C-alpha cells in the first residue's frame, strides 16, 4: 500500500497493522535531541529498530549526526536511499559479507565499521587493499555487556596491532552497555553507566598513550545516553528505542519518552465471556521481552494463542466489553523484533491516517 491508496481513518485499515502515532513519535524525537542540544556530544541514532529510510531522514533533519545500523543489509538499504553517514555496530566477518562491504564502500566510503578481532580486521584490510580503499574502523570494546568487544585493558595493544593494516583507519572506539539499558532505577542506571564509561575511558587513554588518536568515542542507548554523555571522553551516543518505545522500556524509570507504536488488531472470535480472540499472535507481536500490553483496555491482558491468534483475557474488574469486529491496540513488549515482522508503518495523526512508511530493511538480518 502506498500513501496515495491509504484509507482515510484507522477504522478502515485492515489488521493486524503496525501503527505509528505521529505526534508521539515527533515528540520523542524532539525530546531526545533537546537533551543534547547544549552538549558537545552528538547523537547518531540507531536504526536497527525502525529499519526505515524515511525515519532515518527525519532524524537527520532534526539533529542526528549520521545513523547507526546493526547489519550490513540495513546499511545497504539506507545507502540505496541516499543516507550513507552510517556506523555499522556489529562486527562484519566472513568472505560473503566482506565482499558486500567492499561493494558498498566503493560508492559510500563514509560508512564506518567496528572490529574486535585481528582475524576480522585482517580480512577486511586485505579485501580493501585490492580496491585502494581506506576503511574507517572503530575498535569495539566490552564495557560489561560481555557480548562483542575486546577487554578495555587489551584495547591499547589491539590498537597497536591494528597498525599492521594499512588499509584500515582507526577512528575511535565503540563501547555499548546494552546490559544496563533497562535497569528500572535511574540512579542505579546512572551509577552503572558511569562505571561502564570509566572502562571505556581506560581503553581510550591506553590507546592515546601510544600516540594513536581516538577522535570518536561512541556509546549509549535509550536508557543510558544522557548518563554516558556526562563523561568527558564520550563524543557520540547511539540511542534507538526512544523513537517508538515499547512496554519494556516504558517500565524503565526516568525516561522522557512515550509509546508511539502499537499493533492494531481485530477481535475475530468472542465465544467465551472471559476471553476474546484477536488476529495478532506470534507473527505480529514478538514475545522475547514478554507479552504485549493492551492499550486503553484496563482489566484485559494479552496472551499469544498461536502464530496468527492472540487472546485478550478479561479480569473481573474490566469495565470495557469486547465483541467480534472490535478493534484493539497493543503496545509491543519489544519493538525491534516486532517491527521486523511487518511490511510497513501506518502513520496516524489524531485518528486520521496520513502516511505509510515501508519498512524497507525489514528482514535484512545479514
Ligand X SMILES: Cc1ncc(COP(=O)(O)O)c(C=O)c1O
Residues that bind ligand X (CB under 6 A): 46, 48-49, 68, 89, 176, 178, 181, 221-223, 238-241
What's the Cα-to-Cα distance from 345 to each of 85, 259, 264, 285, 317, rounded to whole Å?
24, 14, 11, 14, 33
Phi, psi angles (nearest 5°) of residue 89:
-90, 0
CB-wise, 87 or 311, nearer to ligand X?
87
Q: Which is nearer to ligand X, 15 or 49 (CB)?
A: 49
Compute the least distance from the CB of residue 335 to ligand X, in Å.
8
Is the CB of 16 or the CB of 220 nearer to ligand X? 220
In the complex with ligand X, the residue whose CB is nearer, 49 or 247, is 49
Cell numbers standing for residue 31:
525530546
82: left (phi over 0), alpha (psi -120 to 50) or beta: left
Task: Please report where in the chains the cell 564509561 appears, as a residue.
Answer: 197
**What's the min distance (Å) between Cβ of 147 and ligand X?**
8
Smallest gap from residue 269 Cβ to ligand X (A): 35
Largest CA distance in the chain: 72
User: Which residues, 6 or more positions from 356, have their beta carbon under 8 angstroms from its beta carbon?
Assistant: 1, 2, 3, 6, 344, 345, 346, 347
Nearer to ligand X, 36 or 176 (CB): 176
Angle between helices 53-61 and 72-80 (to 10 degrees): 70
The least distance separating ligand X from the CB of residue 71, rounded to whole angstroms, comes to 11
Chain centroid to CA 200: 21
Task: Find the shortest distance in angstroms from Cβ 329 to ligand X.
Answer: 22
In this structure, are residues 206 and 153 in contact, taking their beta carbons and an 8 Å threshold?
yes
Pair 343, 358: CB distance under 8 Å: yes
Could you tell me whether strands 310-314 and 327-331 are parallel, antiparallel, or unpaired per DSSP bridges?
unpaired
Q: Which is nearer to ligand X, 75 or 312 (CB)?
A: 75
Q: Looking at beta carbons only, is 309 or 334 nearer to ligand X?
A: 334
Q: Which secondary-structure segment (H or E) carries 160?
A: helix 155-161
Q: How many CB atoms lie within 10 A of CB 193?
A: 28
Name the minimum Å distance from CB 248 to ligand X: 10
We find the least distance from the C-beta atom of residue 219 to ligand X, in angstroms, to be 8
Report d(CA 105, CA 135) in Å as an integer: 8
Taking the least distance from each CB to ligand X, the nearer of 6 and 35 is 35
Contacts of 30 (CB under 8 A, 6+ apart): 62
Can you say whether the dihedral through the CA atoms of 6, 11, 16, 18 is positive or negative? Answer: positive
Closest distance to ligand X from the beta carbon of 218 (Å): 8
Choose between 219 and 262: whose C-beta lies nearer to ligand X.
219
174: three-class secondary structure by DSSP: strand
Least distance in angstroms from the C-beta of 249 to ligand X: 7
Instruction: State which residue has the least CB distance to ligand X.
Output: 221
| C-alpha cell at position 74 | 540495513
Instruction: Give φ, ψ of 50 to 5 degrees.
Output: -75, -35
CB of 181 to ligand X, least distance (A): 4
Cβ proximity to ligand X, 262 vs 289, nearer residue: 289
Amino acid at each position: 500500500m502506498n500513501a496515495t491508496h491509504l484509507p482515510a481513518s484507522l477504522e478502515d485499515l485492515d489488521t493486524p497493522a503496525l501503527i505509528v502515532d505521529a505526534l508521539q513519535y515527533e515528540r520523542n524525537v524532539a525530546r531526545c535531541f533537546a537533551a543534547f542540544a547544549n552538549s558537545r556530544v552528538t547523537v547518531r541514532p540507531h536504526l536497527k529498530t525502525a529499519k526505515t529510510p524515511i525515519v532515518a531522514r527525519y532524524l537527520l533533519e532534526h539533529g542526528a549526526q549520521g545513523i547507526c545500523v546493526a547489519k550490513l543489509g540495513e546499511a545497504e538499504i539506507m545507502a540505496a536511499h541516499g543516507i550513507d553517514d552510517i556506523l555499522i555496530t556489529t562486527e562484519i566477518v566472513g568472505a560473503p559479507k566482506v565482499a558486500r562491504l567492499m561493494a558498498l564502500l566503493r560508492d559510500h566510503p563514509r560508512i564506518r565499521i567496528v572490529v574486535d578481532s585481528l582475524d576480522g580486521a585482517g580480512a577486511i584490510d586485505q579485501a580493501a587493499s585490492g580496491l585502494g580503499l581506506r576503511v574507517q574502523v572503530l575498535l569495539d570494546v566490552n564495557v560489561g555487556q560481555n557480548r562483542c568487544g575486546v577487554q578495555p585493558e587489551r584495547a591499547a595493544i589491539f590498537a597497536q596491532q591494528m597498525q599492521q593494516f594499512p588499509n584500515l583507519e582507526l577512528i575511535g572506539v565503540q563501547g555499548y552497555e546494552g546490559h544496563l539499558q533497562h535497569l528500572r532505577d535511574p540512579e542505579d542506571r546512572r551509577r552503572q553507566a558511569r562505571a561502564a564509561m570509566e572502562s571505556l575511558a581506560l581503553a581510550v587513554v591506553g590507546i592515546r598513550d601510544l600516540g594513536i588518536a581516538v577522535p570518536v568515542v561512541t556509546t549509549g542507548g535509550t536508557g543510558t545516553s544522557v548518563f554516558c554523555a556526562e563523561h568527558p571522553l564520550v563524543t557520540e551516543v547511539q540511542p534507538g528505542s526512544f523513537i517508538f518505545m515499547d512496554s519494556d522500556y516504558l517500565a524503565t524509570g526516568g525516561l522522557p519518552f512515550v509509546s508511539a507504536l502499537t499493533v492494531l488488531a481485530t477481535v475475530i472470535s468472542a465465544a467465551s465471556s472471559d476471553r476474546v480472540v484477536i488476529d495478532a499472535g506470534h507473527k505480529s507481536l514478538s514475545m522475547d521481552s514478554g507479552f504485549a500490553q493492551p492499550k486503553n483496555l484496563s482489566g484485559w491482558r494479552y496472551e499469544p494463542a498461536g502464530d496468527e491468534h492472540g487472546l485478550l483475557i478479561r479480569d473481573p474488574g474490566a469495565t470495557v466489553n469486547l465483541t467480534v469486529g472490535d478493534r484493539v491496540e497493543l503496545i509491543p513488549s519489544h519493538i525491534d523484533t516486532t517491527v521486523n515482522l511487518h511490511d510497513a508503518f501506518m502513520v496516524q495523526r489524531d485518528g486520521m491516517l496520513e502516511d505509510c512508511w515501508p519498512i524497507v530493511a525489514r528482514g535484512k538480518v545479514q
